[in-house]
């Protein structure tokens, strides 16, 4: 189904990733934004809690990565401080995901040595494609700042969220990334949550055939240009083992209102497994995502079956034609 040198990046046992949404505010209004103010609030994590929450999730016995996100995280004036604080605490890698606007002189205030990756979101190789999804003028600002970041010595990666609206242009990204000096290319599948769920998810989603036909080829092309490409596995091949990251790894998706999810697919619902209250991490009781992780079904991911059943197909006997993998399971193609 995929080129021979596509490698599935299995969850490492004990791996810990902290996805820290430091605010939910954003200067943009992308058509496929997954931030849901009803569930995630409109707060900004104050400086004091940035420190306390980073300390709360750091574990000196286990390697932990932190990814700062928003909203637009660079709108938070204390983000450079949070980056330095995370490094000092011993997080093994620190990443910032940005829409490219880099507010508050971000490049001038952060030392490239303190940030492992600065990741820009761009959804098209031209203003026509990208700005239709992310807003007028975004392509120009984002790509200009991306090139400034490369010139300033930052490790730059790029996230392209693939949907019906931009899949035909994905391959055009590779020469641009190569020219700009981008080191990692994250190809992300559109999630049916937030605005996408409200605006008719079926208009956005790809078929399995489209995904399998196009994505691995573009990833291979990127690898041939010296860029590491990472993309979700999505469909398991016959005989491949299904694993739920909620069971075998530790991923914490933290929101400013104190909700902590372990599965990003659950973020539109008040079923978060944990919450932060008075700077303590508390396991929620009652019906939470945690209960769903332990269910074994022939279709693979339980939450995909509940929320996105249109992703599934069955044979005449009612058996699923393929399993849907955990959305956190990735494949990687690295340069030879």
Instruction: Summarize as ranges the residues that interact with ligand SF4 (CB under 6 A).
Output: 26, 28-30, 33, 35, 70-72, 99, 244-246, 263, 265, 293, 301-304, 326-328
Nearest to ligand SF4 of 64, 221 (CB atom): 64
In sign, the C-alpha dihedral spanning 327, 328, 329, 331 is: positive
For ligand SF4, the closer of residues 43 and 52 by Cβ is 43
In angstroms, give the least distance from the CB of 242 to ligand SF4.
Answer: 8
Tokens 């392509």 belong to residue? 139
Range 143-158 burial, b when 16+ CB lie within 10 A, else e: bebbeebbeeebbbbb
State the nearest-atom distance from the C-beta of 87 to ligand SF4, in Å: 24
Task: Give the nearest distance from C-beta 326 to ligand SF4 in angstroms.
Answer: 3
Say how far apart CA 126 and CA 260 lie, in whole Å.
36
Instruction: Tell me the C-alpha distance between 100 and 120, whole Å.
Output: 6
Tell the smallest beta-carbon distance from residue 44 to ligand SF4 (Å): 13
Whichever of 29 and 285 has its CB closer to ligand SF4, that residue is: 29
Q: List the one residue out of 162, 171, 85, 178 whose CA is nearest residue 122.
A: 162
Min separation Cβ 271 and ligand SF4, Å:
11
Tokens 């000092």 label which residue?
88
Residue 209 and residue 167 in contact, taking contact as beta carbons nearer than 8 Å: no
Q: Which is nearer to ligand SF4, 217 or 264 (CB)?
A: 264
**Of the candidates 97, 30, 32, which has an alpha carbon nearest to the alpha carbon of residue 253?**
97
Nearer to ligand SF4, 279 or 294 (CB): 294
Question: Residue 135 and residue 310: Cα distance in Å, rounded?
Answer: 29
Q: Which is nearer to ligand SF4, 221 or 243 (CB)?
A: 243
Q: Provide, rounded to whole angstroms, the least separation between the CB of residue 245 and ligand SF4.
A: 4
């Amino acid at each position: 189904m995929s080129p021979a040198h596509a490698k599935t990046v299995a969850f490492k046992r004990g791996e810990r990733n902290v996805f820290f949404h430091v605010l939910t505010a954003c200067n943009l209004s992308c058509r496929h934004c997954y931030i849901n103010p009803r569930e995630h609030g409109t707060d900004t994590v104050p400086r004091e809690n940035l420190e306390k929450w980073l300390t709360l999730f750091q574990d000196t016995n286990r390697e932990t990565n932190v990814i700062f996100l928003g909203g637009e995280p660079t709108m938070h004036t204390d983000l450079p401080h949070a980056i330095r604080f995370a490094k000092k605490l011993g997080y093994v890698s620190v990443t910032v995901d940005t829409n490219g606007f880099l507010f508050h002189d971000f490049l001038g205030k952060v030392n490239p040595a303190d940030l492992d990756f600065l990741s820009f979101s761009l959804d098209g190789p031209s203003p026509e494609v990208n700005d239709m999804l992310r807003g007028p003028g975004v392509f120009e600002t984002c790509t200009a700042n991306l090139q400034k970041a490369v010139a300033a010595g930052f490790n730059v990666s790029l996230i392209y969220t693939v949907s019906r609206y931009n899949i035909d242009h994905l391959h055009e990204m590779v020469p641009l990334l190569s020219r700009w000096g981008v080191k990692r290319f994250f190809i992300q599948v559109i999630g049916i949550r937030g605005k996408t769920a409200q605006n008719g998810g079926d208009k956005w989603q790809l078929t399995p055939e489209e995904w399998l036909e196009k994505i691995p080829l573009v990833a291979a092309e990127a690898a041939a240009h010296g860029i590491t490409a990472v993309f979700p596995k999505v469909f398991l091949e016959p005989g491949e083992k299904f694993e739920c990251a909620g069971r075998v790894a530790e991923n914490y998706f933290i929101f400013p209102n104190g909700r902590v999810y372990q599965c990003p697919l659950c973020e539109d619902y008040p079923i978060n497994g944990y919450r932060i209250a008075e700077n303590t991490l508390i396991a929620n009781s009652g019906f939470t995502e945690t209960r769903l992780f332990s269910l074994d079904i022939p279709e693979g991911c339980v939450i995909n079956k509940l929320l996105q059943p249109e992703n599934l197909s069955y044979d005449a006997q009612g058996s699923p034609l393929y399993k849907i993998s955990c959305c956190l399971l990735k494949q990687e193609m690295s340069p030879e």
